Structure 1
Amino acid sequence: MHANLITPSSIIASVKAQQKTAWESGNFGVVAQYNELAAEEFMSRLPLTSSMTVLDAACGTGNLAVIAAQLGCKTSGIDIASNLIAQARHRASHLGLNINYMEGDVEDLPYVANSFDAVISMFGVMFAPQPRKVVQEMLRVTKPGGVIALACWTQEGFIGHMFQVFRRHLPPPPISTPSPLEWGTESIVRDRLFNGIGLLRMTRRTTHLRYPFSPRETVDFFREYYGPTRKAFESLDVIGQKALLADLVRLQEEHNVSGNPEVTDTPAEYLEIVARRL
């Protein structure tokens, strides 16, 4: 487990700039549409009512925000990637929903204290490089008695195995920050949410990543549209790209439970975190 990492602000700014570039490459909106069922399942278990103010933190194209707004919540969304915010706004307009989207940093939220009844995030805030600051900000903008609800991939699940594949093929990052997968470990989450939280419930869930493509085509799909995967391939030479491709295809094939080689259906575990602010 990482201790409180103290990293010079200029280095953290560089990390965030690289993350922003990665998420803005490709077209995550194409990928996000395949996560809508998981978002619906996650949101169905949260105690949201139409009278609530809700923030979708690291919202991407707004899968959670859309559902909250459809429930009648006064909804906001924030993300570091400007193109994803643009897509989220277009999506909300197309659906006739009033959602206040803003480009910004989840480690420095542009909202006054006690603004929201619920702060929610699905596979989003877990990627911020300074988790302690994320926690501080989520607590700050959540009203007393409000809910913080997160869904975060686990080390033991499919996405954790995929992280291992990338680590085998990519050089270690020049700057050490906590792994996003630490948000999928109960003991670490309990430590991070120790202060300012009353009720804390953590439940391991499994969602299915379903794509109407073969395992090889699924890897190609992510290579084209998912920014971090796109950037990973671009960082390697031709031989390295072929080796990474082979291992990713093998991983998809090993975990595919569809029974159809032309369809990919992969069970993926995540940790559902629901906390009540004191």
Structure 2
Amino acid sequence: MDPVTGKKAEEDVMTTQTEAEADRVLKARHRALWALGDYPAVASEVIATLGPVLVQAAGIKSGQRVLDVAAGSGNAALPAARVGANVTASDLTPELLAAGRRQAGDLPVRWETGDAEALPYPMGSFDAVISCVGVMFAPHHQVAADELARVCCSGGTISVLSWTPAGFIGQMFAAMKPYSPPPPPGALPPPLWGDEQHVRELLGDRVVNVDARTAALTVDRFGSAEEFRDFFKACYGPTIATYRHIGEDPEKVAALDAALVELGRRFGADGGSMPWEYLLLTARKA
């Protein structure tokens, strides 16, 4: 830094301001994306059983302080509250939290808007930090993983359930990629959270007693590949956003229509039963 002009310091401040503004724009896009369509319908009609699976794997007990990160409409927060835990559901998209509140009824869940990459809680605030196909969509994986570890108390549990790259949802994102807008700089593909080695590296030596296993959710919501495609075109934010990106190109729309139908058929949609593979990783905070 020039001791007279202070030019280097000024450049550093400008760089920090530019990065902060870019992050605000990115997070605003993410909020808007997940407000598209009807994700609560996906959560309740298609993947409802995943939340209880995660809660059981995390060993959630009555009286524990539990944070559900990127909670959406409460797929994991609600079953955690049903076993008597003191649950905070945090998500970037207020519309999803509002849907969760409506579903919660008398369950005492705190619904709080929050960024998985900058959680508004002190270090070690929770006995268990969980996320059900949620934190995987935070664009900066290491930053999000650092936050999971930071807010979990020593000896507490971190448990994350994520779609795998080779499984149905991972392959759906691969099918949509040629038609999607380019990802922002530094953003990593969400299904990487379904790769055990990737998640182990993200959490590093901050965790011990890591237990990781892959399993498959059996989805019987759809009677045909076309029904799957149309449901996701209407309800699932990332799919809706992809179609909007190519909306003025009928040939690309037709190609994506065909690609999603082919994917659905390959995974058994026409037979009424589809296996959707996920990774469930649970660890103890060191």
Change (3 A) 1:53 1:171: closer
Q: Is the 8 A contact 2:209 2:284 kept in 1?
A: yes
**1:44-102 superposed Cα distances (whole Å, 9 cap, x missing partner):** 22211102111111001001111010000011101111100111111112xx2010011
**1:168-212 superposed Cα distances (whole Å, 9 cap, x missing partner):** 333533534111111111221121111321221211111122214
Match of 2:166 in 1: 156
Match of 1:113 in 2: 123
Match of 2:9 in 1: none
Cα RMSD over matched residues? 1.8
Q: SS state of the match for residue 26, structure 1?
A: coil
Q: SS state of the match for residue 182, structure 2?
A: coil
Provide structure 1 residue ranges, at least 5 long, that are not aligned to the other structure: 1-5
Write the mapping of 1:23-172 to structure 2, written as runs, cut at 5 A: 23-33=34-44, 34-93=46-105, 96-172=106-182
Q: SS state of the match for residue 211, structure 1?
A: coil
Q: SS state of the match for residue 145, structure 1?
A: strand
Match of 1:18, as an amino acid? R
Answer with 211-220 or 51-60: which moved more: 211-220
Answer with 249-258 or 21-30: which moved more: 249-258
Change (3 A) 1:109 1:174: closer
1:177 aligns with 2:187: yes
Match of 2:232 in 1: 222
Match of 1:3 in 2: none
Write the mapping of 1:186-225 to structure 2, written as runs, cut at 5 A: 186-225=196-235
Change (3 A) 1:223 1:242: same
- TM-score, normalised via structure 2 length: 0.88
Q: SS state of the match for residue 229, structure 1?
A: helix
Match of 1:13, as an amino acid? R
Match of 2:126, as an amino acid? F
Q: Is the 8 A contact 2:140 2:186 kept in 1?
A: no
Q: Is the 8 A contact 2:175 2:259 kept in 1?
A: yes
Match of 1:23, as an amino acid? W
Answer with 230-239 or 203-212: which moved more: 203-212
Answer with 154-163 or 8-17: which moved more: 8-17
Answer with 232-241 or 206-215: which moved more: 206-215
Q: SS state of the match for residue 155, structure 1?
A: coil
Match of 2:93, as an amino acid? A
1:274 aligns with 2:274: no
Provide structure 2 residue ranges, at least 5 long, that are not aligned to the other structure: 1-15
**1:254-274 superposed Cα distances (whole Å, 9 cap, x missing partner):** 111673xxx3x2101111110
- Inter-partner Cα distance in structure 2 for 1:148 and 1:62: 17
Q: Is the 8 A contact 1:16 1:129 kept in 2?
A: no
- TM-score, normalised via structure 1 length: 0.91
Q: Is the 8 A contact 1:12 1:129 kept in 2?
A: no
Match of 2:264 in 1: 252
